[in-house]
Chains A and B, each alone.
Chain A
Amino acid sequence: MKKTYKIEVDCANCANEMEAAAKKTEGVKEAVVNFMTLKMKVEFEDGADPKEVMERVRENCKKVEDDCEIYL
């Protein structure tokens, strides 16, 4: 399953790091962050609950970039 989320992030490097952090999150198969359109596209593992996974993704992203935001 794929879902797109709006994000808020200031710098392109931070966006790259958010992408890397999201990819490493459990339950995420693939994640792409588009800095220019401020969107994060997440493909979930089969059977994963997007809501729960996205909470973890947000937590992990906050670790790498404090003032980023993912609108769930």
Chain B
Amino acid sequence: MTQKQKKNLLRILATSVLMIALAFVPVQGTVRFLLYLVPYLLIGYDILIKAGKGIRNLRAFDESLLMAIATVGAMVLAVYEEHTGGEGDYVEAIAVMLFYQIGEWFQSYAVGRSRKNISELMDIRPDYANVEGEGGMEQVDPDEVEVGTTIIVQPGEKIPIDGIVLEGVSTLNTSALTGESLPRDVGKGDEVISGCINLNGLLKIRTTKEFEESTASKILDLVENASSRKSKSEDFIARFARVYTPAVVFAAIALALFPPLVQRFVMGGAPEWGTWVYRALTFLVISCPCALVISIPLSFFAGLGGASKSGILIKGSNYLETLSQVGTVVMDKTGTLTKGVFDVTAVHPETIDSTELLHLTAHVERYSTHPIAASLRAAYPNEADDCRVEQVEEIAGHGIRAMVNGKTVCVGNEKMMEAIGAKWHSCYHVGTTIHVAIDGTYVGHVIISDVVKPHAKEAITAMHQAGVGKAVMLTGDSGRVAEKVAEELGLDDCFSELLPADKVERVEEILADPGHHGKVAFVGDGINDAPVLARADIGIAMGAMGSDAAIEAADVVLMDDDPLKISKAIRISRKCLRIVHENIYFAIGIKFLCLILGAVGIANMWLAIFADVGVMILAILNAMRALFVEKL
């Protein structure tokens, strides 16, 4: 609680006590009025002063002014009644002020709390960096650390700046960045990014970026600016508030003037000024749009906060809104649905056993830098044994030939097998086939293919469950590979053999198709699909941890590369927008209901202020729900 909140809470309590006490004090007339004036001024003085300043600055429909007019009006009416013989109701004006202040207090408290909660969630900002100095370790402001400095990160500390590990091995907790609790092991030569927490070992890191350019700073900057990009709902509320308040004020003036005049001159009865002025004042109390104005940005803020806690960065409330309307998800294959690295998926030996086949293949590929060679070596981890590997020769477009333990081993494609006259045959497996021949005799083949991510199928199912009508895959890969993946994952459509430019065209075609479902999202790994990310209604980049390009190009950034996060992001946005709409309808609905009840005299000022403060509190509590997204 801030100082101001504490003070206001005291005022609220003191006024309540005074009001109850005064009910038992048997006084009449002016003394009674003066006694009641004490709690009224105690609870309302700041509002009255603010209203006065508002008038001086020619600011019409200010909230404080409305409250001031309504309560002063109620006081005057009470005095008037007292003078005409009845008993004036001073309590009403005080109660209205009191409830208004309670509402304000609650609002300030709730917003303060959620502000704190959410900033704690996103607390990845490192406060200091340890630099190796002359007298040992020295703590400095990370802003002052230059590129290339050696910094030390002790167990339990946050890595302040992106860099490369020089010394030490440790496990990093990346959950603040990815929402993923799986720790990551790092050692000498590994790249590490800021915002991760060092769990056990001491690390010496050479920085590769400035603090401002480091991952943690960039992400924070992005998240902090996210709620500045206003959504349509927020704009609507801002416009609504601008029109609504003056409209209600004019309606109140009309309500105070016309019915009495009509009663007096047209119908020839008593004007009943008191009744109508009272109803007009009730109108003014209802007129303040706080519930709406506060709960909508709060809902978005909570939604954005909840999403970033799950490792989903959404760059603005407007994107959160678009995301909730997504009906078509277009995905890149490599890096999004598949791992984008090649793995040995099948070994088919003819005459020798499969370990021996892999063993030979790995030997031949020992010195090659081709990605396929790397995956073949990875499939046989103990490659560096005492076998003799000599005369390694790479034949471009064919493969590699080498002498292994005195035998000529050829590892390559169909063309190579044709060239050496080995009798090869094709494989039913989809992927790249690597044939192997020993001394010109075919001994079998190894299949290498891109592996589908473990959650890819689940991710597509979850997307369909989240209300995505169409899941489409785009790929530069061959038709056969694409179809197999599409079928395996349960995709609705797929387009293959596309160049990066073709992908933009496909997305444009989908956008132009009048039958497409909702908004179109494109999901890619952000490396070469920036134009597509920009062209779609909403661009989602995944596996973006440490990739600046992806963070720049996309509207939504998934920090890890789990495709399940796509449907989660959609669910979070849907929940948030559902809450926003609930609050809009609920708040506006109750307001209009109260306005009508107030106009016909059913609702008095008590009910009006209850409705106002009650709706606001409920709307704020509802907005806070947007923060809870773990189970989505």
Chain A residues 1-42 with CB under 8 Å of chain B are: 10-13, 16, 32, 34-39, 41
- CB-based contact B297/A63 at 8 Å: no
In the bound assembly, the distance between CA atoms of A29 and B57 in angstroms comes to 24
Contact B294 A16 (CB under 8 A): no
CA–CA, A64 and B298, complex, Å: 22
B50 contacts the other chain (CB 8 A): yes
Does A55 count as interface, using CB distance less than 8 angstroms?
no
B115 lies within 8 A of chain A by Cβ: yes
Chain A: minimal CB distance from B519 (Å) = 24
Which residues of the partner chain A approach B59 to less than 8 Å between Cβ atoms?
63-64
Closest residue of B by beta carbon distance from A19: B238
Taking a contact as CB atoms closer than 8 A, the residue among B50, B225, B228, B238 that contacts A66 in the complex is: B50
Given the known A-B contacts A16-B238, A16-B293, A64-B59, are A10 and B108 also in contact in the complex, defined by CB atoms under 8 Å?
yes
Indicate which residue in B104, B238, B298 contacts A36 across the interface (CB closer than 8 Å).
B298
A49 at interface, CB cutoff 8 A = no
Residues of B near A34 (CB, < 8 A) are: 224-225, 227-228
**Is B107 interfacial (CB-CB < 8 Å)?**
yes
- Once the chains are docked, how many angstroms separate the CA of A11 from the CA of B119? 19
Interface residues contributed by chain B, number (CB under 8 Å): 27
Using Cβ atoms and an 8 Å threshold, which residues of chain A touch B298? 12, 36
User: Interface readout for B46-77 with A: 1 if CB under 8 Å, 0 if not?
Assistant: 00011001100101000100000000000000
A interface size (C-beta, 8 A): 17
A66–B53 touching, CB < 8 Å: yes
B301 within 8 A of A: yes
Task: Choose one: A10, A13, A37, A38; the contact of B241 (CB below 8 Å).
Answer: A13
CB of A13 within 8 A of CB of B63, answer yes
CB distance from A22 to the nearest CB of B (A): 13
Any A CB within 8 A of the CB of B88 = no
Say whether B290 faces chain A, with CB atoms less than 8 Å apart.
Answer: yes
In contact, A63 and B57 (Cβ under 8 angstroms): yes
Q: What's the nearest-Cβ distance from chain B to residue A29, in Å?
A: 15
For residue A27, give the distance in angstroms from its CB to the closest CB of chain B.
Answer: 20
Also in contact, A13 and B57, with CB within 8 A (given A34-B227, A36-B298): no
In the bound complex, CA of A67 to CA of B289 (Å): 19
Q: For A11, give its contact among B118, B294, B301 (CB under 8 Å).
A: B294
Known: A36-B297, A41-B228. A13 touches B108 (CB 8 A): no
Provide the residues of chain B in CB contact with A66, threshold 8 Å: 49-50, 53-54
CB-CB under 8 A for A13 and B227, given A36-B115, A63-B57, A67-B50: no
- Partner among A10, A35, A38, A41 whose Cβ is within 8 Å of the Cβ of B297: A35
Query: In the complex, what residues of B have CB within 8 A of residue A67's CB?
Result: 50
Q: What CA separation (Å) do A13 and B297 show in the bound complex?
A: 10
Which residues 34-54 in A have Cβ within 8 Å of B in the complex? Answer: 34-39, 41
Whether A12 lies near B294 (C-beta < 8 A) is yes
In Å, the complex CA distance between A41 and B221 comes to 12
Q: What is the CB-to-nearest-CB distance from A55 to chain B, in angstroms, rounded to a whole number?
A: 17
Q: How far is the CA of A51 from the CA of B63 in the complex (A)?
A: 31
User: Across the interface, do B297 and A12 meet the contact criterion of CB distance under 8 Å?
Assistant: yes
In the bound complex, residues from chain B placing their C-beta under 8 Å from that of A63 are 57, 59
Q: Which residue on A lies nearest to B4, using beta carbons? A: A10
Measured between beta carbons, the chain A residues less than 8 angstroms from B228 are 32, 34, 39, 41
CA distance A12 to B225 in the complex (A): 17
Q: A36-B115, A63-B57, A66-B50 are in contact. Are A11 and B227 (CB under 8 A)?
A: no
Kindly list 10 other residue pairs between chains A and B, CB separation below 8 angstroms, not including A16-B241, A38-B115, A66-B53. A12-B293, A12-B297, A13-B241, A32-B228, A34-B225, A34-B227, A34-B228, A36-B111, A36-B297, A41-B225
Provide a sorted-by-A list of 30 A–B residue pairs whose CB atoms are within 8 angstroms: A10-B107, A11-B104, A11-B108, A11-B293, A11-B294, A12-B111, A12-B290, A12-B297, A12-B298, A13-B241, A13-B289, A13-B294, A34-B224, A35-B111, A35-B297, A36-B111, A36-B115, A36-B118, A36-B297, A36-B298, A36-B301, A37-B224, A39-B224, A39-B228, A41-B228, A63-B59, A64-B57, A64-B59, A66-B50, A66-B54
Binding site for A on B (CB under 8 A): 49-50, 53-54, 57, 59, 63, 104, 107-108, 111, 115, 118-119, 224-225, 227-228, 238, 241, 289-290, 293-294, 297-298, 301
